[in-house]
Amino acid sequence: MTESSLSEKTIAVVGMARTGMACARVLVDLGATPILFDRKNPHELGRELGEAKRLGVEARVGHPGVDFDGIDLLIPSPGVPATAHMFKDAVARGVEVVSEIELAYRIAKAPIIAITGTNGKTTTTVLTGRMLQADGREAYIAGNVAAGDIGVPLVTAAHKASADGVIVAEISTFQLEWITSFKPKVAMLLNIGADHIDRHTQEEYAALKVRIFEHQTGEDYSVINLDNEPVRSRTEDVGGHKLYFSRKENVEHGAFIDGERVVVRIGDTETVACSITDIRLPGEHNQENVLAACLGAIAFGVRPESIQKALHEFTGVVHRMEWVAKIGGVDYINNSMCTNVEAFVRSVEAVNGRPVVIAGGKHKGGDLSPLAEVVSSRAKHLVLIGASVDEIEEAVRATGFGDITHAADMNDAVAKASLVAESGDTVMLAPGCASFDMFRNFEERGEVFKAAVRHRASTGQGD
């Protein structure tokens, strides 16, 4: 499928959120006829329905099904499980189902760097894009990036980018469910941990992550975390030219830390990409993100001085270890993107001293003992909010740790954390859970946390 082959096709787009509306805009521009479907009621979709009307696109809302009469192609929302009846019906009717990233790949002129993993995707995606941009490249930061206004949907970038450009895209597990030819020039798998157990088994989840390499050939690069055993054991047979990154080992092909240097070896070329002191992001996990980003950048010919410039200017993205304020000598850190247990562990370990941690939300399933153990060994106090407070508290108390407080909402959580924190301490929002029990998404959760902190700062409550 190319841009021209979409002309005059009728395409069902399921879901009228950010990705669905982006698909509709691109499809209209390519001469296709998209029809939008969404189970939400019209009063919940005012802005989206207004845009659909301006585009001249039909929208069928308020019911969960899809009418397949006259439909040539179905593009699902990542939020709808692959087991949903509509997809079985589509396959039975001979209607091809492809994800937004598959559509994007089919119309893209520019090569794609695709990045997935349980944790670190957004930071690595944005950082890789910044390295390319610092080198003067036409680089688009795209995909599942949720970092303010930094990124665009992959289908949008694919439509805009010229053949001389590069698209750096964050790819989610759900987006990999419906691919048939998606073949990034560089594919990165940063890590595999426990996540989305409410939708997949751990084995299913891991298998989906590895699909990012599925269609690669020897002319492509497969970037693999040598230090993550689930990644290492599942990527022996990938088709791309394998490049490894490791904090612990010198690697023959890839990126590693040699003393104070980040070294990259691709083919016969060895490059000192940067110094460890150039990395301003806290935590060993961010060293891994930098190693992966350096590999992606150097694979596209980015010069070391451009990498160093990008690292010097890059202090992280919103909702990821984001410093908010210092009040009464206490630092407040927003890490609302921390939505699973592994991210929680890495976040707490990245903070100097013993932080006061605000955690909780809707636990997505899996073992809570690593969260409990790092709280017991590294935290000063734990403030819990959300639907899973009892489950988390039980796991933490089983370690013998008892400095736990419940809070009614985020404002209450910040107030109670502030009472415990002393000058020199850190109060960190690191939920370790999904946000949907109390907020629309993790971005809203982070903004509410920052507003609560800034209110304290403006009223002098911490002084």
In the prediction, which pLDDT does 148 show?
55
Mean pLDDT of the residues in the chain: 92
**Residue predicted with more confidence, 6 or 190:** 190
Tokens of 411: 């404002």
Count Cα neighbours of 362 within 13 Å in the Cβ-side half-sphere: 14
Please, is 340 exposed, middle or buried when counting C-beta atoms within 10 Å of its C-beta (0-12, 13-18, 19+)? Answer: buried
| pLDDT for the residue numbered 251 | 93
pLDDT, position 193: 84
Q: How confident is the model at residue 202, as a pLDDT?
A: 83
Average pLDDT of the residues in 322-351: 91
CA atoms of 429 and 426, how far apart (whole Å): 10
Give the integer Cα–Cα distance in Å for 169 and 99: 14
Share of the chain above pLDDT 70, in %: 96
pLDDT at 461: 67
Q: Where are the beta strands (DSSP E) in 148-275?
A: 166-170, 186-189, 221-225, 241-246, 254-258, 261-266, 269-275
**So what's the pLDDT on residue 129?**
97
Q: pLDDT tens across 195-212, in order? A: 555 555 888 899 999 999
Q: State the pLDDT at residue 150.
A: 66
User: What does the pLDDT read at residue 462?
Assistant: 54
d(CA 171, CA 50): 29
What is the reported pLDDT for 198?
Answer: 55
pLDDT tens figures, 251-272? 999 999 999 999 999 989 999 9
Arithmetic mean of pLDDT, 402-410: 97
What are 131-185's pLDDT values in tens digits? 999 999 999 999 987 555 567 999 999 999 999 999 999 999 989 999 999 999 9
- Per residue in 61-93, pLDDT (tens digit) is 998 788 899 999 999 988 777 888 888 899 899
Q: What is the mean pLDDT of residues 326-349?
A: 92
Q: Identify which has the larger pLDDT, 363 or 463.
A: 363
